[in-house]
Structure formats: structure tokens, C-alpha cells
Amino acid sequence: MKLSDKAIILTKGSRVAAGHDMYALTDGLVLAKGQTMVDPGIAIGLPEGTYGRLAMRSGIAGKMGIAVGGGVIGADHTGEVKVILRNQGEADCILKAGDG
């Protein structure tokens, strides 16, 4: 569910993609060797007995050294999803609204 008019609903890159892509709601910055909380502006509901897993796509992770902290969303989670990004690289990482 979108919590903001600017939020982008999860998408799949192809019909055989392993997961869905999530997008940043606003611009942001992950300082080198630092971390930040990213707001995608969405809430999700999961079926009982399942969980969601947040993971980086290989592109940004490999190029910028970005990793997801935490990453598990339990089926009992209700409300907004937030994503912790950790920058393991030597350079700051600039995020733009709509980056996935």
C-alpha cells in the first residue's frame, strides 16, 4: 500500500525475477562507512507463515559497497517499511528519489 502519492509500488524486473524492486521515496545520502534509514513510502502485508527479506541488487551493492542492515520483515509486521542501508565503501553514496 502506498503511504505517499510519491511512493512507487514494488515492481519485478522480469516475470522470473527472484524478488521485487523497492524504491526510495526521497533523495538521501549514505556517508562512507556510515548508515541511514531509507523510506520507500509503502506498507506491505504478508501471509501468515511467511516473511519478507530485504536484500540489495548486485548492481548498486557491487559498485558502491552498499548493504542492507536487518532485512527480515515478519508476517506480523504492520505498518510502514523502512530500509537500513550501510555504506561499506570509501565514497559517499547519493540516493535519488525513485532509485531502486
Residue that the C-alpha cell 533523495 belongs to: 27
Backbone CA torsion sign across 31, 41, 24, 81: positive
Give which of 94, 81, 100 is closest to 34, Cα–Cα.
Answer: 94
What does pTM read for this prediction? Answer: 0.85
Block means of pLDDT (10 residues each) for the chain, length 100 residues? 92 90 92 94 93 82 82 91 92 87
pLDDT of residue 56: 83
Helix, strand, coil tally for the chain in percent (to 5): 5, 30, 60
Question: 1-100: which CATH topology?
Answer: Deoxyuridine 5'-Triphosphate Nucleotidohydrolase; Chain A (2.70.40)
pLDDT of residue 63: 75
pLDDT of residue 13: 87
Write down the domain spans for the chain. 1-100
Sorted by sequence, the CB contacts under 8 Å of residue 5 that are 6+ apart come out as none
pLDDT of residue 58: 67
Q: Which residues pair with 92 in a beta bridge?
A: none
